[in-house]
Amino acid sequence: MLSQGRRMERPVVIHKVASDLRLSPNWVDYEAGRRVDVWADARHALQGLPGGGLNLGFEAVDRQAAGALRDHVALRFVARNAPPLDLRYFELAQQTNRFANVLRSLGVGKGDHLFVLAGRIPELYVAVLGALKNGSVVTPLFSAFGPEPIAARIQLGAGRVLVTTDALYQRKVKQIRAQTPTLVHVLLVAEDGGITNEPDTLDLGTLMASASDTFSTVETQPDDPALLHFTSGTTGTPKGALHVHEAVVTHFATGRYALDLHPQDRYWCTADPGWVTGTSYGIIAPLLQGVTSLIDREEFDAERWYTLLEQERISVWYTAPTAIRMLMKAGTELAQRHSHPDLRFIASVGEPLNPEAVWWGQEALGLPIHDNWWQTETGGIMIANTPAFDIKPGSMGRPLPGIDACIVEHLEAEGEPARVRVIEEANVEGELALKRGWPSMFRAYLNNEARYRKCFAGELYLTGDLAKRDADGYYWFVGRADDVIKSAGHLIGPFEVESVLMEHPAVAEAGVIGKPDPVVGEVVKAFVSLKDGYQAGETLRLDISAHARRRLGAAVAPKEIVFLPTLPRTRSGKIMRRLLKARELGLPEGDTSTLEGGAWTK
Ligand code: AMP
């Protein structure tokens, strides 16, 4: 009751403060910042390749290693049972050179696709940056994925090289080698520091030891592919969003203006590189700004996280609403047992950040949390709360310099190309759209030109998110326009989960939805109907659940499975996930005119 009373007194804005009295923010005046050509400024600050061209890996590592930051710690790895490991900028340059030389010696070159499947170990970071310098196209995969999502993504991306650990290879990759014929080289990291001798693989440590530590970066052009990130859609296999080397311009500018990074910062991004945030802001942007970036190999643990913030003297912290909600659950008292005198800026991304969480930051850590918005396709932060203006808790902020956002309504339900009208009025809900042309805009969905085209209406990129803009130009997230599930900040395609459930011999049909959850946003919930001859019951439910976890991995598999006699379908045969969700939540069922007659009884 008391906290309820306090909550009601809270003002609707948190007035901006200089984010740190010792450092002046990179962006102080919203309007003035918007008038600056930040892309031109960023291009100017970046070096470019000696012979012309632009390369993400070179800008992030070699440019810094050749300058004043040569001996500065670039990446600091911490783990529960190992001493911290620091890689200085020049060491990172040498290691990435070695890795690039390994690729070259294997005949892997510009445009070849390389996947990395590993926890947050140094080799992951070296492989990603080294491969970029080699002109190869890189995809870090989330190590908690099961064999199915791994195989689907390597197939779609025609992966030629995979870097993984011996343990992950045994558990998840060996069984899918036959399904991934494009994979020519599998490079194994022996996590015990030894040498692996698994058939059909190469030992990465051995190759690195004999490779030269000098390498001249392959001449990539701004429009050459660099990174391939997968994102989940409602139907079909995941979509491979392709990013180019020019994305470095956005990474540079947003590291400066959205995260307010300064070279003296000690920065911690808690995202795994298997998700776009963990690459753009867990690898690239901090290096571009010359900061020391902390990488924790462990999973979430409230006490450990507060200790790291304190002991590692983190000054800028980029995390996610799920983590913040878990910290809130652990209690303000735990936070207050630690002191964080160095912490000056906190940002969050991935899901809506409740106003309560923004205020919690203020109470527990002495700083508000700055929500920001972007997605795999945008490659970098587009809309943010920053030190340059007041925060309205619950809003994802305002467009960054160089970004033009608007809210649109569709003039036809299905037309192609989409025709939209920009909604000028404030506080009207519609689809969030961005004016195309920012440097990190994705350039393709791999092998799916038609789907890519559908994302655009003339000069506007349609984000698939519903939002509102208020009279002050702040954007407020409303929801997604599709059925994609957001769980613990990760997008999960219902179709991918349904397909695996359908592989189980007892399952006739499956419909998967996101069920709201106070901590992780949504949990994956599956409704299944059974084939004749199978009896619904706890044993079968556990068996289906185990099958899903084995194939998909714990992060993607459904947490709840419910049996239904039949699932609601449209007359054209599509499972009506919306109806499943409405019934789950006790909401109005909306238009059911396309529901297959009488097929579903509750
Ligand atoms: P992903 O492509 O996996 O990064 O997911 C992008 C999606 O996450 C967006 O399209 C939104 O639906 C959601 N999202 C990201 N950031 C926010 C935010 N600050 N508030 C609300 N939703 C967000």
Q: Which atom of ligand 1 is nearest to the CA of 371?
A: 19
Rounded distance between C-alpha atoms, residue 253 and residue 332, angstroms: 34
Domain ranges across the chain = 1-35+300-403, 49-70+77-249+270-282, 404-482, 485-598
User: What does the pLDDT read at residue 595?
Assistant: 67
376 lines ligand 1 (CB under 6 A): yes
User: What does the pLDDT read at residue 602?
Assistant: 36
Beta strands in 232-275 (DSSP E): 239-244, 266-269
User: What does the pLDDT read at residue 601?
Assistant: 39
User: Which residues touch 55 (CB under 8 Å, ≥6 apart)?
Assistant: 49, 132, 133, 135, 217, 218, 219, 220, 245, 248
User: How many angstroms is it from 392 CA to the middle of ligand 1?
Assistant: 18
User: How many angstroms is it from 350 CA to the middle of ligand 1?
Assistant: 4
Q: Which atom of ligand 1 is nearest to the CA of 348?
A: 19
Reduced to 3 states (helix: H, G, I; strand: E, B; else coil), residue 269 is: strand
Q: What is the pLDDT of residues 429-448, one digit of tens each?
A: 999 999 999 999 999 999 99
Residue 79 φ then ψ, to 5°: -150, 160
User: How many angstroms is it from 349 CA to the middle of ligand 1?
Assistant: 7
User: What does the pLDDT read at residue 2?
Assistant: 34
Tell me which residue has its CA closest to atom 22 in ligand 1: 351
User: How many angstroms is it from 252 CA to the middle of ligand 1?
Assistant: 21
For the chain, the helix, strand and coil percentages under 3-state DSSP, each to the nearest 5: 30, 25, 45
Where is 479: in which H helix or E strand? strand 475-480
Tell me which residue has its CA closest to atom 16 in ligand 1: 350
Q: What is the pLDDT of residues 245-270, one digit of tens each?
A: 999 999 999 999 999 999 999 999 99
Contact between 159 and 108 (Cβ < 8 Å): no
Reduced to 3 states (helix: H, G, I; strand: E, B; else coil), residue 330 is: helix
483 lines ligand 1 (CB under 6 A): no
User: Which parts of the chain register pLDDT below 50?
Assistant: 1-7, 598-602
User: What does the pLDDT read at residue 8?
Assistant: 52
371 lines ligand 1 (CB under 6 A): yes
Rounded distance between C-alpha atoms, residue 305 and residue 532, angstroms: 50
Rounded distance between C-alpha atoms, residue 165 and residue 182, angstroms: 19
Q: Which atom of ligand 1 is nearest to the CA of 275?
A: 3
User: How many angstroms is it from 379 CA to the middle of ligand 1?
Assistant: 12
434 lines ligand 1 (CB under 6 A): no
- Report whether the peptide linkage leading into residue 417 is cis, meaning its omega lies within 30 degrees of zero: yes
Could you tell me which of 153, 386, 369 has the C-alpha nearest to residue 257?
386
To test the pocket of ligand 1, the residue of 231, 369, 373, 484 to mutate (highest count of ligand atoms within 8 Å of its CB) is: 373
477 lines ligand 1 (CB under 6 A): yes
Contact between 337 and 306 (Cβ < 8 Å): yes
Number of helices (H), then strands (E), in the chain: 21, 28
**What tokens does 167 get?**
């343990």
Could you tell me the fold of the domain covering 49-70+77-249+270-282? Rossmann fold (3.40.50)
Burial class of 378 by CB neighbour count within 10 A (0 to 12, 13 to 18, 19+): buried
Contact between 27 and 402 (Cβ < 8 Å): no
Burial class of 89 by CB neighbour count within 10 A (0 to 12, 13 to 18, 19+): buried
Could you tell me which of 449, 411, 445 has the C-alpha nearest to residue 431?
411
Burial class of 30 by CB neighbour count within 10 A (0 to 12, 13 to 18, 19+): middle
Q: Which CATH superfamily is domain 485-598 in?
A: ANL, C-terminal domain (3.30.300.30)
491 lines ligand 1 (CB under 6 A): yes
Q: End-to-end distance of the chain based on CA atoms, in angstroms? A: 38
pTM > 0.75: yes or no: yes
Q: For all residues of the chain together, what is the average pLDDT?
A: 93
User: How many angstroms is it from 537 CA to the middle of ligand 1?
Assistant: 36
Could you tell me the fold of the domain covering 404-482? Luciferase; domain 3 (2.30.38)
User: What does the pLDDT read at residue 593?
Assistant: 64
How large is the greatest C-alpha to C-alpha distance in the chain, in angstroms? 72
Rounded distance between C-alpha atoms, residue 578 and residue 483, angstroms: 7
Q: Which CATH number fits domain 1-35+300-403: 3.90.1150.10, 3.40.50.970, 3.40.50.620, 3.40.50.12780?
A: 3.40.50.12780
Task: Tell me the percentage of the chain whose pLDDT exceeds 90.
Answer: 82
Tell me which residue has its CA closest to atom 4 in ligand 1: 375
373 lines ligand 1 (CB under 6 A): yes
397 lines ligand 1 (CB under 6 A): no
Q: Do domains 1-35+300-403 and 49-70+77-249+270-282 have the same CATH topology?
A: yes
319 lines ligand 1 (CB under 6 A): no
Where is 548: in which H helix or E strand? helix 538-552
Rounded distance between C-alpha atoms, residue 1 and residue 7, angstroms: 10
In DSSP terms, which residues pair with 420 in a beta bridge?
A: 410
